[in-house]
Structure 1
Amino acid sequence: MTSHLLHQTRIAFIGGGNMATALIKGLLGAGLDGKNIRVSEPDSVRAQSLQSLGITVVAGNSNTVSTAQLVVIAVKPGIVPLVLDEISGNLNRDAVVISIAAGVTLNSLMRRLPEKQPAIRAMPNTPALIGAGVTVLCPGPDVSPQHRALAETLLGTVGEVKTILDESALDAVTALSGSGPAYVYLMIEALSDGGVACGLPRDLATQLAVQTVKGSAALVKETGQHPGVLKNQVTSPGGTTIAALQVLETAGLRGILMRAVEAAWRRSQELSRKN
C-alpha cells in the first residue's frame, strides 16, 4: 500500500489514549490530512488536546466510524464488546477494523462485527509513543492483501511492523515485545544503581546505562551478528567484563529472563481465554 493511498484513507479511532495519540501523530507526520482523521474521546481534557492536532473529535462512537475506511479500536479490553456492539451497524462494509486491545481475540471481534467484516488484531508496544515501536499484526480470514497492506502502512508510522498468521503466537509476542520494555527499564534502572554504588552521580549513571542499552541494541541490529558473538568481542581473558558476566551467570540472569517471558506468556494465554 503506497503512502499516496494512505493519504486518501479516512481513519476513525475509538479511544484517544496514549497509543491512539501516538498513531495519530505518526499519521500526521507521514502527511495524512487531519481532516481524514476522526476520534471518539469522551474525556474533555484529552479531546481538547487531540483537537489541537487539527483532527475531528466527537463524543459518540457510531458517528465516528460511519464514513471511515479504517477503524482502530483503542480502548480498554473490558469495554471492547460494548464498543463493537455500538458501532457494528454503522460500519462501512469494506472498512478494516484493527483492535490494539490486549487479549481480545479475533473470534471475539468477529462475533460482534457484521459477517465478513475485515478484522485485524495488533500488538504494539510503548516505544511507539516516540516512533520507535514494533507492532505485530494478525489478520482475520476476511482480510485482503490490500487491507493488510493498509494496516501495515498505518502502524508503520510509529515503528516496525511484523505480520503473523498464527494468532496463538500473539501471546508470546505480548510476553516478549509487548511487556518487554518493562524488562529493559528494570535493567536500565539496575545498571544505573550499580553505577551509583560505584560512586557515579545518578544523572550520569542513568545516561550511561541508557546509551549503553541503546547502542548495544543498535549494534545487534546493524551488524546482524548473534548477540553472543558481540558479547564475546567485549570479553577479554581475565578482564572486567568476564568477572561481571560470571556473577550474572552464577545468579541465573539468563534463566530468570527466560522464565519472566514464559510467565508473561502464560498470563497472556489466561487473559485471551477470558476474551
Structure 2
Amino acid sequence: MAKIGFIGMGNMGKAILQGALKEFPKTDFVFCAKTEATKLRVHEKTGIDYADSNAECANRCKYLILAIKPQFYEEVLNAVRYMLTPDHVIISLAPGRTIDQLKLNLGNDKRIVRVMPNTPAMIGEGMTGISCRKEEFTDEELDVLTRIFSSCGKAEYIEERLMDAVVCASGSSPAFVYMFIEALADGAVRCGMPRKQAYIFAAQAVKGAASMVLETGEHPGVLKDQVCSPAGTTIAGVAALEETGFRNAVLKGCEAVYKKCIEI
C-alpha cells in the first residue's frame, strides 16, 4: 500500500511531490488528478502510480494530501469520505478550513492536519506552516509530516489559531514580494538600467536580504540600520518610502488577506 497519496496535481501538489520524492521512494506514492492527461503527464515524468478515482487514491494510502482548489473541496470530500479510517492522516491545504470543520464533515474520529505551503516550494524554497492536534499522532507520523514538508523548503509547526496569520506571512506574501521586485526593477530601468539586468539585480538583492535575516538571526530593523549611512543614499530612500506609506501598505495587504481567510 502506498504511504502518501495526493489528490490534485496543480502547482502546489506537484511542488510538494517533487520535494517528497527526495525523501521517500517512488513506491511510497500514489496520486489522482482531475484529467487523464494530467495523470499520464505526471506518471511519465515521475514514474509514480496513479489511481483511477479519488476514492481509490484515499483507499491506497495512509497520508492523504488534499492539494485541491477550495471550489472542489466538497466534491472531493464527498468522494473520499467513506474510504477514510481513523488510521488515515488527512492533510488539508485549504485556507480557512478549520480542523473542527473538517472533522464535522469527515467524522470526529478522523485525524486532520492543516498545512499552508507557498509557491516557492516549487523550487525547494517554500515555507510551510503545519497545524495539528499532536496528541492524536504518533512520533513517527509527526516525523513523516515534517519530512514531507521540509523536503520542499522550511516547515514549522504552529497553533491552529495562527494559521490565517501564516497565509499573511508566507502563503500570499510571495505575490507582494514579486510586486516589490518588479517595482525595484522599474526604478532601475527609470535610471537607465536595461530591464533584464534590472530584474537580476532586484531579485538577487531581495534573495540576499532574506538570507541575511534567516542566517544571521538579526532583527530586520538592525540589518536595515546597517545599510543606512548618515546622510546617505539609503536613508534618503527609506524616508521617501515612509512618506508614501510603504509599511502601512504592507500592513493593509496582510489585513486584507486575513479578512479573506476569515470569510472563506
1:71-110 CA-to-partner distances (Å, cap 9, x unmatched) read 0011111222221222122124311000112222212211
**Alpha-carbon shift at residue 241 of structure 1 (Å):** 0.9
Q: Which residue of 1 aligns with 2:251?
A: 258
Query: How do 1:129-168 and structure 2 match up within 5 A?
Result: 129-140=122-133, 143-146=136-139, 147-165=141-159, 167-168=160-161
1:22 alignment partner AA: A
Of the candidates 108, 114, 124, which is equivalent to residue 107 of structure 2?
114
Q: Which residue of 2 aligns with 1:3?
A: none
1:226 alignment partner AA: H
Q: Does structure 2 retain, via aligned residues, the 8 Å contact 1:81–1:112? A: no
**Alpha-carbon shift at residue 149 of structure 1 (Å):** 2.7
Of the candidates 10, 14, 18, which is equivalent to residue 11 of structure 2?
18
Q: Does structure 1 retain, via aligned residues, the 8 Å contact 2:5–2:30? A: yes
Moved over 6 A (4+): none
Q: For structure 1, which runs of at least 5 residues remain unmatched after alignment?
A: 1-7
Q: Which residue of 1 aligns with 2:39?
A: 47
SS of 1:35's equivalent?
Answer: helix
Q: Which residue of 2 aligns with 1:226?
A: 219
1:242 aligns with 2:235: yes
Q: Distance in 1 between matches of 2:143 and 2:25?
A: 19
Q: Distance in 1 between matches of 2:34 and 2:255?
A: 37
SS of 1:162's equivalent?
Answer: strand
After superposition, the Cα gap between the structure-2 partners of 1:142 and 1:229, relative to the gap in structure 1 and judged at 3 Å, is: closer
1:36 aligns with 2:9: no
**Alpha-carbon shift at residue 140 of structure 1 (Å):** 4.0
Q: Distance in 1 between matches of 2:93 and 2:167?
A: 11
1:176 aligns with 2:173: no
1:27-80 CA-to-partner distances (Å, cap 9, x unmatched) read 2122x2212211111312221221020101123011112131110011111222
Q: Distance in 1 between matches of 2:195 and 2:79?
A: 50
Q: Does structure 1 retain, via aligned residues, the 8 Å contact 2:65–2:91? A: yes
Q: Does structure 1 retain, via aligned residues, the 8 Å contact 2:228–2:234? A: yes
Task: Give me the identity figure in percent.
Answer: 37
Q: Distance in 1 between matches of 2:116 and 2:108?
A: 24
1:50 alignment partner AA: V
Q: Distance in 2 between matches of 1:223 and 1:202?
A: 31
Task: Give TM-score scaled by structure 2 length.
Answer: 0.94
1:152-184 CA-to-partner distances (Å, cap 9, x unmatched) read 22111111111122x231111112211110110
Q: Distance in 2 between matches of 1:260 and 1:119?
A: 29
1:94 aligns with 2:94: no
